[in-house]
Amino acid sequence: MTILVTGAAGFIGGNFVLDWLAGCDEMVINVDKLTYAGNLDTLKGLEGDIRHVFVRADIGDRDVVGKLLAEYQPRAVINFAAESHVDRSITGPGEFIQTNVVGTFNLLESVRGYWADLAAEQKAAFRFLHVSTDEVYGTLAADDPAFSETKAFEPNSPYSASKAASDHLVRAWHHTYGLPVLTTNCSNNYGPYHFPEKLIPLVILNALAGKPLPIYGDGQQIRDWLYVKDHCSAIRRVLEAGKVGETYNVGGWNEKANLDVVKTICTLLDELQPKADGKAYIEQITYVTDRPGHDRRYAIDAHKLERELGWKPAETFESGIRKTVEWYLANQDWVSNVTSGAYREWVSTQYGA
Ligand code: NAD
Ligand code: DAU
């Protein structure tokens, strides 16, 4: 048995493949374009492991993806590949439309062609699982109920609009063509191998480097944090038992204001790696101009996933953030490869691009 996973040189996909192969021997075909966010260092532990096949390719390349599907005959495709950073979508939305919308369309078409020709039994068992975000639902006021799966889509950034479009395509490919799809909409992830453009790893690394810790606006925006390994276990559970055509919200019931998240990281660093000058990391907090169109609050109602599939997160925010800070302190090699550009040089030497 084999699964094909896209975008698994990235943060969540990388964690997913590591967890998958730690738990079973089912082969993984990993299709990733290796954008700036893709990092094969994350999968270093799988070097020489015949259960993991890495292919550098764009999900929109129907020729390559079609050949891989025909060759490896996966029982499922899990789509993590995306442009994922909201700030980058504001300065340059084009890549987000290209990968998240056009890329997902082409991937769906490649998969539909493969699936249509499968024998009846394989056809019935096949799944296309699309990994999406809570940002498609828009923003919440302080006293609004958390997002449920029936909440109307109201995306506010080019990133969330492109993800919402991809979710709609996935839905339509099920309703029109019968493709057996599943969609997950998850809240903010954090944990090992998180690219340091995102709030939590950025703050950890800036703090250690003595740099400012940038807080957008008043820092009172709320995100609902989930440890990445819990997201991975939710995806495995939905793949295993999710009802075809359904969407499942994934979240950890951990709503936190950004400023509180940053202060928590500072306190952990004060304990785990105190500054030589005896000062507190919190003094590095700096308020900067807010993100345009910044969503004020996200909160996920994950009752459906708990009730129907029996999934629950293993980590609290307190246990997960401690593990995360400890991981960054213990994995300086991964960090310096990502931040120094050495990894990018390796990619161009290795792949000539
Ligand atoms: P990431 O940016 O860390 O990784 C994305 C990966 O996709 C990279 O390895 C990149 O090289 C690859 N990629 C980009 N464009 C590609 C293309 N055209 N073809 C093939 N590969 C391509 O992202 P992430 O944080 O790991 O997010 C993974 C998925 O989960 C995304 O779909 C994202 O929308 C979704 N999601 C993320 C979060 C979060 O908090 N990070 C929360 C909910 C949902
Ligand atoms: O909600 C799920 C989404 O979470 C995913 O779909 C996205 O792929 C992922 O990037 C994440 O989006 P956010 O915009 O919420 O994550 P980010 O880490 O960029 O920012 C988290 C919050 O912190 C947000 O309110 C903006 C704020 N922020 C971010 C940065 C990078 C700051 O205040 N300062 C910063 O320097």
Q: Find the domain containing 113 and state its range.
A: 2-193+228-253+294-316
Tell me whether residue 341 is in a domain. Answer: no
pLDDT of residue 7: 98
Beta bridge partners of 77: 4, 128
Tell me whether residue 271 is in a domain. Answer: no
Tokens representing residue 70 in the block: 């025909």
pLDDT of residue 346: 65
CA of 102 from ligand 2 middle (Å) equals 24
Mean pLDDT, all residues of the chain: 96
pLDDT of residue 352: 72
Whether 27 shows a pLDDT value over 80: the answer reads yes
pLDDT digits 0-9 by tens, 42-93:
999 999 999 999 999 999 999 999 999 999 999 999 999 999 999 999 999 9
Backbone angles phi, psi at 93, to 5 degrees: -70, -15
pLDDT digits 0-9 by tens, 199-256:
999 999 999 999 999 999 999 999 999 999 999 999 999 999 999 999 999 999 999 9
Q: Does residue 134 have an active-site annotation?
A: yes
pLDDT of residue 201: 96
Is 101's C-beta closer than 6 angstroms to any atom of ligand 1? no
CATH code at position 45: 3.40.50.720
Tell me whether residue 199 is in a domain. Answer: no
Tell me the CA end-to-end span of the chain in Å, nearest whole number.
Answer: 33
The catalytic residue among 114, 137, 159, 193 is 159
Task: Judge contact between 255 and 302, C-beta under 8 A.
Answer: no
CA of 86 from ligand 2 middle (Å) equals 7
| Ligand closest in space to the Cα of 265 | 2
pLDDT of residue 349: 78
- Closest Cα partner for 151 from 251, 84, 286, 75? 251
- Closest Cα partner for 8 from 256, 226, 228? 228
pLDDT digits 0-9 by tens, 161-183:
999 999 999 999 999 999 999 99
Name every protein residue with a CB atom under 6 angstroms from any ligand 2 atom.
84-86, 133-135, 187-188, 198-199, 202, 214-216, 221, 223, 258, 291, 298
Tell me whether residue 236 is in a domain. Answer: yes
pLDDT of residue 100: 99
Whether 113 shows a pLDDT value over 60: the answer reads yes
Tell me whether residue 249 is in a domain. Answer: yes
Is 236's C-beta closer than 6 angstroms to any atom of ligand 1? no
CA of 84 from ligand 1 middle (Å) equals 5
Ligand 2 pocket test, pick from 199, 204, 230, 249 with the greatest ligand atom count within 8 Å of Cβ, gives 199
pLDDT digits 0-9 by tens, 141-154:
999 999 999 999 99
pLDDT of residue 353: 54
Residue 336 CA from chain centroid, whole number:
21
pLDDT of residue 118: 98
The 10 Å Cβ neighbour count of residue 206 is 19
Domain total of the chain: 1
Give me the helices (H) in 117-157, please.
120-125
| Ligand closest in space to the Cα of 199 | 2
Q: Which amino acid is at 347?
A: V
Tell me whether residue 262 is in a domain. Answer: no
In a 3-state reduction of DSSP, which class is residue 181?
strand
CA of 80 from ligand 1 middle (Å) equals 5
pLDDT digits 0-9 by tens, 294-352:
999 999 999 999 999 999 999 999 999 999 999 999 999 999 988 878 666 766 776 67
Cα–Cα distance for residue pair 123/146, rounded to 1 Å? 36
Q: Does residue 159 have an active-site annotation?
A: yes
Whether 99 shows a pLDDT value over 60: the answer reads yes
Tell me whether residue 73 is in a domain. Answer: yes
Cα–Cα distance for residue pair 188/134, rounded to 1 Å? 8
pLDDT of residue 143: 97
Average pLDDT over residues 27-35: 97
Tell me whether residue 93 is in a domain. Answer: yes
Average pLDDT over residues 112-127: 98
